Structure 1
Amino acid sequence: MGFDDKVKNTAQDLSGKVKEGVGDATDNERLEAEGKADQAGAHVKQAGEHVKDAVKDATDGH
């Protein structure tokens, strides 16, 4: 995973946690759901990057 991608994914995850927390604290269900969605999106992107890295590592060894 490239450093830039890792930073972006982490920032998206943290942003989602903040949104979720603010939404929960203010009883704003939309904001809370948006935060959870941001976190899920970041996790999916991270998983995709890990798969790409694993494939690259596997093909580099051959």
Structure 2
Amino acid sequence: MSVVIVGGNERMVAQYKGICKEFGYKAKVFAKMTTDFKRKIGTPDLVILFTNTVSHKLVNSAVQ
């Protein structure tokens, strides 16, 4: 199962990935907007969106 985490704290990226790995999930974490975000996100089984710690542009891209 693949998980994409959008937003959150940049310092917690390694912990987010570690927690997902403990449960047997592959995780991609995007704390900031990256180039070609829509292409990099792929087709995950689950998207976790931290709306309070992310830009509006990144939220809109993740929702689409």
* TM-score, normalising length: structure 1: 0.27
Which has the larger strand fraction? 2
Q: Larger radius of gyration, structure 1 or 2?
A: 1
Higher relative contact order (CA 8 A, sep 6+): 2
* TM-score, normalising length: structure 2: 0.26
Which has the larger helix fraction? 1
